[in-house]
Amino acid sequence: MSDACGCGDDEPRAGGEEAEEHEPERLWEVRELQFAAVSGVLLLAAWITGWAVDGGAAGTAATVLEWLALLAGAYTFVPSTVKRLAKGKIGVGTLMTIAAVGAVLLGEVGEAAMLAFLFSISEGLEEYSLARTRRGLRALLSLVPDEATVLRDGTELVVAPAALRVGDRMLVRPGERVATDGIVRDGRTALDVSAITGESVPVEAGPGDEVFAGSINGTGVLTVEVTTTAEDNSLARIVRIVEAEQSRKGAAQRLADRIARPLVPGVMIAAVLIAAIGSLLGDPLVWIERALVVLVAASPCALAISVPVTVVAAVGAASKLGVLVKGGAALEALGRIRGVALDKTGTLTANRPAVIDVATANGASRERVLDVAAALEARSEHPLAKAILAAVEHVDPASDVEAVTGAGLTGRRDGHTIRLGRPGWLDAGPLAADVSRMQDAGATAVLVEQDGQVIGAVAVRDELRPEAGEVVAQLRRDSYHVAMLTGDNHATAAALAKDVGIDAVHAELRPEDKARLVEQLRGERPTAMVGDGVNDAPALATADLGIAMGAMGTDVAIETADVALMGEDLRHLPQAFTHARQARRIMLQNVGLSLAIVIVLMPLALFGVLGLAAVVLVHELAEVVVIANGVRAGRAKPLATTRGARQAPLAPTAAVGASS
């Protein structure tokens, strides 16, 4: 263990594979607790010997046992303290070491042994709590199977996941776990991704769908093309990010550091003054002893460990919920948020636009309108292209297709000039009422024209996530101010906001507009921006806290945001807020309790009300309390096994816009 709960210690305890190999899984495997147990047994033996037997030999035996108990307990912190002192670092372990040495000089070997015994227990409990939460995070890696079946040159080979190469074809049988990230090339199944994203509802997967390491295959046999190596798959990336980001400290943790760091040398100076002034005015031995007791009483060990233990426990628990929290700063900010700005596409909606209505004019049929629209969209990368192409069985592409920025497409086919574009660029003519109806209902409408004559209007919408209304209602019940930000038109945005229950709607926003608006919202209350992490990157960076959706497959989401929801279930959002608020409350409780202990013990020690053993006992009990309280932040309830009350399916006219 490190010097006194790591106060002033910036060095890592352990790292890499060595740390994982020696990670204690049970209390009795913690080295500090093993030495504490030895120290305690020896101390008990010394007391029994001194109480039960009279005489010089018994006194000598008791003293020897006390010395052995002192050495066993001190071994857990004195060597590291000396090393840090050599580097000019003073920590709480320094105070404990000086107090133990002082007690010995005063002839109180038993009390020095008690101090070392209790302090080694708190060190061991801290190490166990941190190891436990680190194991919870690294347990994600255990979701990867020990072996994988790969198809090479027409032969099935069983290899270790580390031997998989990008481009390999994995064979995943029913009940097996996926060894690394990839894309399904053959087969259909339902994947259990609950251990990865926190979503309990199985996810359907078929050709072209992405699958992630650790997913459990259902009943179908899948052929999966490997897209990442085992060292860089989604699970490994998440573990690396969280472990790297855990060094970031939230405001509460920085507060603990600000208090603890000057307190240590300040207490040492105060102890010297108490001993010097007291010796001039009274018995030097009495005042030197009191100075040593004050030294121990003011030790900020509980303060130094209170927040880090909470942060590590809470971040590890969040990962099990499908929420990736980038360390203490993000966790503390998540607990302070009172306003939520939600992007539309990919956040409130599923980002899978589809054609839901077609209006016709001038004798054209529905099929004719879609045929002409698809002819132009066949060469387009417009967000609506995929939806329109999916609505037709066969596409006869147009020629000479040109894109008119912000307006639409033009081209030729079979000697006809055809155009597709937004109302305003093309005249809606007899379809004006239909276009208005589509837009008022929340759909994105495009007009189709042939030889200068409008022949139809196509309405495309992006479906609301089934849980969107439930999530917004929960956020409002929890007293969050909820706003929607979108690049879509006002009519589309208003229709969607009404369906989902949002009053504050901001539409027709460019990425820089979103960032500027988020800055304004921050001026009113601490605000989080929730988006897909790509188009919303400026707003995510501007917000007090950026939250990205679907981080399992989006690198930029993880890099840009402070928090990422690893799955596609929006219900993880209010769950993450609740978890962070609870963690923040625990942080503040621990800081308050730690400071109260120091404030109460110092005058009691100064005036001789409490001796060294009593002060040490109270202090170490306080450390046990704050550690136990901090570990509570590791409790997290997963989502229910069903989505609960879903929204009713939207009617074709109650459509949602497709672009943001």
At 656, which amino acid appears? Answer: V
| Alpha carbon distance 314, 275 (integer Å) | 43
Q: What number of other Cβ atoms are within 10 A of residue 223's Cβ?
A: 16
Closest CA to 376 of 332, 421, 339: 421
Closest CA to 372 of 340, 396, 354: 396
Kindly report the three-state secondary structure assignment for every residue of 345-401: HHHHEEEEEEEEEEEECCCCCHHHHHHHHHHHHCCCCCCCHHHHHHCCCCCCCCEEE
Q: What is the CA radius of gyration of the chain?
A: 33
Q: How far is CA 203 from CA 134, 185, 189, 350, in A?
A: 28, 16, 8, 14
Q: Which of 3, 181, 257, 343 is catalytic?
A: 343
Helices (H), 106-231: 109-138, 194-197
Contact present, 569 and 468 (Cβ < 8 Å):
no
Q: E strands along 212-367, which residues?
A: 222-226, 323-325, 339-343, 349-360
At 254, which amino acid appears? Answer: R
Closest CA to 653 of 356, 354, 355, 348: 356
Q: Which residue has the tokens 């292209």?
A: 385
Residue 54 annotated as catalytic: no
> What token pair was written down for 521?
């919202």
Three-state DSSP at 254 gives helix
Residue 638 neighbours by CB under 8 Å, 6+ apart: 194, 198, 200, 320, 321
* Residue 267 CA, distance from chain mean position: 37
Q: How far is CA 235 from CA 186, 551, 626, 637, in A?
A: 23, 11, 31, 21
> C-alpha angle 164/166/168, rounded to 5°?
65
Q: How far is CA 113 from CA 75, 110, 116, 188, in A?
A: 11, 5, 5, 66
The residues annotated with a catalytic role in the active site are: 343
